[in-house]
Amino acid sequence: MDHRARRTTRRIEGWPAAPGVASGPLMRLAAAAAVARKGGSTAGERQALADALDASRLDLAALVGEMKNEEAQAILSFQIALLEDENLAAPAFALIADGEAADRAWIAGIDPEIAGYEQAVDPYFRARASDLRDLRDRVLRHLAGEVDQAVPAGVIVLADDMPPSVFLATDWRDGGLVLRRGSPSSHVAILARSRGVPMMVGGDVEGLEAGVDAVLDGDAGALIVDPDPVLRAEYDQRLAEKSQARQALASFDGPVLTASGEPVRLMINVTGLAELRDIDPSKVDGIGLMRTEFLFHGRESLPTEDEQYQIYRQMAEWAAGKPVTIRTLDAGGDKPVAGLTQAGEINPFLGVRGVRLSLERLDVFRLQLRALARAAVIGHLKVMIPMVTVPEELDRCRALFRDAVEELRGEGIEAAMPPLGMMVEVPAAALAIEDFDADFFSIGSNDLIQYVMAASRDEPQLADLARPSRAIFHLIGHVVRHADRCGREASLCGDLAGDPSQVAALLDQGLRSLSVAPGALAPVRAAIARYPGRPA
Amino acid sequence: MMQDGGMNRLRASALIRHEVGLHARPSVKLTKLAKAFESKIDLGLSPDGPWVDAKSIVKVMATKAPKDSTLYFRAEGSDAEAALDALVTLVNEDFPDGP
């Protein structure tokens, strides 16, 4: 079968590991060849390994000199320190003394070390296995006399896993990275986020041909192979907007105002701490949506209360008194979490997801509420519940939250009850919004659109249906008017808010609070500044 | 710091507060500092060991010491006291960036 002849658009789903969009031909990166080396004398093999270790150390030392990024330097310094430690190669040299060839001895010596990290309970230490594999392969390449496989700029790289040193030696201008293995907490993912290289992990990329055109959507965690012209144009526009935004953001300052002088609150959507590093908190009005799913992805054990607390606390500290809106775990639907979400649902978007899952898995939910209650002591934390459909769900969450606060105080731990709001994304909730006892409302336009229009946003044939319509704006206006009447905040945190061409229509409905991806800040800000005011 | 059995063998401990425990960057700093001393220095996660060479990044990382664990050091040699002082300070100050 000739794939090229058909040219049908294919979408491969994975986990988002670093945001952004990249477009270009696919390139496959092979792992270091495991070809058996012909063994020489014991002395010769000992020398060969010693030389390969030396050469690897020199490679890394040269690389670290080129790096200006602190994160990158730390990762390479760690690998150099490992190489300089004679304990690393001691088992290999012992095997060589027993007559083993250098490459086999090296693999046999270091693999137990790698396995030790792979079995670690803590995801941080588990991710270090990739650093050791990186070292193993670099030394093997030297033993085999290979040179590094060069990656040209502007390609989307497919690989099983990528060693941090290879990542750092690559020119990523306009490129992107798709890994079959790896996790969002691996070193390489941290590097990709800090360098702005779009990346996804967990995509089934086996069988994809090199050279085929593709678009990597690092925000959604999807690879689109052979995109049709419509999709292609859509992503080209996103690429252009992102590069404009990067240039424009630095020049903005002061409050966000419409042309008529009305203030609008403009906040950001984030998935973790890494994205905050490059954002100046004085240029935004806080975090309008923190997606906690990211903390649960790509790991075998669920995050502990303390791990979650540390992240929420650091977000509150970053925001320095501005609101930080944290959404409780929204797993299920298109966001499965191993060991948590229910497998085999016929229609996961209409299944046990969001708050429905949290109320089923109270063990997991209570831990998250405890972590949030502790972090609420530190800053201006707000908590919102996803997929609320009937008022009783929110009431149960509030009761559970109160229990968590009391329980913590009983243990002598400081805790506070933050404002508790709801995502408005199920039509039933939007229509009967008056019935909900929420401290604030945040409209989730992505799910609201697909539930109101009965059209999946992932189905290319329905792209014309899965768009904001008069019905959507009518519902948004209904929610905003209710919030205004009872003096509570309503905001919108879906992709709709980040689309500059929709901003005027949202402001027309009375919305004065939007939360967008950091890359959309500048264009949305500009669209707000053009807004002349609501038509009479 | 306390004297332990033989001549000049000293012990000390410090609570690790670093966000993710004894991870790559702190481990590099710790082993570099340990290597600056002549004494034999061991690290353990309990007062009774098992002990690993505090100058070996391979061994130190492999302890996978999580946050809020106590690091125990023992040192034997001419500069054991100074070594323990320096290591405990490094951990207590949460591995500050050196000069």
Q: Are residues A266 and A380 in the same domain?
A: yes
Q: Is residue A477 part of a domain?
A: no
Beta carbons of A82 and B58 less than 8 Å apart:
yes
Domain boundary (A126, A144, A162) is at A144
By the 8 A CB rule, do B94 and B18 touch?
yes
Nearest CB among A77, A116, A124 relative to B28 is that of A77
SS3 label, residue A123 = helix
Question: Is pLDDT at B1 greater than 80 in this prediction?
Answer: no
Query: How far apart (Å, rounded) are the C-alpha atoms in residues A187 and A72?
Result: 9
CATH number where A86 lies: 1.10.274.10
Of A75, A85, A310, the CB nearest to B57: A85
- Check if A482 is active-site: no
Buried b (16+ CB within 10 A) or exposed e, B45-72: beeeeebbbbbbbbbbbbbbbbbeeebb
The answer to whether A119 and A169 are in contact (CB under 8 A) is: no
Q: Which of A182, A215, A239 is the last residue of a domain?
A: A239
Distances (CA, A) of B95 to A34, B23, B31, B60, B71: 39, 11, 12, 15, 13
Using alpha carbons, select from A292, A294, A280, A291 the residue that is nearest to residue A322. A280
The answer on A116 and A86 residing in a single domain is yes
Residue-range domain boundaries for chain B: 2-92
The complex's ipTM?
0.82
User: Same domain for A46 and A139?
Assistant: yes
Same domain, A274 and A390: yes
Residue of A53, A64, A84, A87 for testing the chain B interface, max B β-carbons within 10 Å: A87
- Tell me whether strands B9-15 and B2-3 are parallel, antiparallel or unpaired: antiparallel
Contact (CB<8Å) B31/A124: no
**Contact residues, chain B, for A82 at CB < 8 Å:** 57-58, 61
- Identify the CATH class of B2-92: alpha beta
Residues A322 and A401 placed together within one structural domain of the fold? yes
Q: Same domain, yes or no, for A371 and A409?
A: yes
Q: Is residue A525 within 8 Å of residue A268, measured between CB atoms?
A: no
- Are β-strands A15-18 and A199-201 bridged in parallel, bridged antiparallel, or unpaired? antiparallel
Domain that holds residue A49: 42-144
Closest listed residue to residue A323, CA positions, set A273, A280, A284, A367: A284
Q: How many domains does chain A have?
A: 3
Q: What is the DSSP string of A191-253?
A: HHHHHT--EEES---TTPPTT-EEEEETTTTEEEES--HHHHHHHHHHHHHHHHHHHHHTT--
Q: Which residues of chain A have pLDDT under 70?
A: 1-7, 30-39, 67-69, 145-150, 165, 184-187, 194-195, 244-253, 297-300, 334-335, 458, 460, 536
**Mean predicted lDDT score pLDDT of chain B:** 84
Q: A135 with A153, same domain? A: no
Q: How far apart are CA B13 and CA B34, in angstroms?
A: 14
pLDDT tens digit string along A243-253? 766 666 656 66
Q: Quick check: is A187 in a domain?
A: yes
Task: Write out pLDDT tens, residues A482-499.
Answer: 999 999 999 999 889 988
Are residues A259 and A213 located together in one domain of the fold?
A: no
Could you tell me if B53 lies within 8 Å of chain A, comparing CB atoms? Answer: yes
**Does one domain contain both A310 and A391?**
yes
- For residue B31, what pLDDT band results from cuts at 50, 70 and 90? very high
Provide the pLDDT for residue A200.
93
Nearest to A303 by CA among A350, A371, A388, A222: A371
DSSP A42-81: HHHHHHHHHHHHHHHHHHHHHHHHH---HHHHHHHHHHHH
Band the pLDDT of B23: cuts 50, 70, 90. Answer: confident
Catalytic one of B9, B23, B40, B59: B23
Ramachandran quadrant class, B90 (left: phi over 0; alpha: psi -120 to 50; beta: rest): alpha
Residues A358 and A503 in one domain: yes
Chain A contact for B97 (CB, 8 A cutoff)? no
pLDDT at A312: 95
CA distance B10 to chain A (A): 25
Considering the domain architecture, whether residues A330 and A364 belong to the same structural domain is answered as yes
Instruction: Give the chain B residue whose CA is nearest to the CA of A112.
Output: B62
Show residues of chain A in contact with B66, CB under 8 Å. Answer: 122
Q: Is the peptide bond before B50 cis (omega within 30 degrees of 0)?
A: yes
Query: Are A201 and A161 contained in the same domain?
Result: yes
Give the closest residue to A287 by CA, choosing from A303, A309, A265, A308: A265
Residue from the list B32, B57, B66 with its beta carbon closest to the beta carbon of A122: B66
Q: What is the pLDDT of residues A281-336, one digit of tens each?
A: 888 999 999 989 878 865 557 889 998 999 999 999 999 889 999 999 998 876 67
- Interface residue of A70, A73, A78, A113 to substitute, partner B, most B CBs within 10 Å: A78
Q: How many residues does chain B have?
A: 99
Is A220 part of any domain?
yes
Q: Please determine, for residue B45, whether its predicted confidence score (pLDDT) is greater than 50.
A: yes
- Residue A412 Ramachandran class (φ > 0 left, ψ -120 to 50 alpha, else beta): left
Sign for the pseudo-dihedral over CA of A181, A184, A187, A191: positive
pTM: 0.54
Instruction: Please check whether residue B24 touches A, CB under 8 A.
Output: yes
CB contact under 8 A, B20 and A122: yes
Whether residue A204 is contained in a domain is answered as yes
Domain boundary among A144, A161, A196: A144
Rounded to whole angstroms, how far apart are CA atoms B30 and A471? 61
B18 is catalytic: no
Query: What's the CATH number where A232 sits?
Result: 3.50.30.10
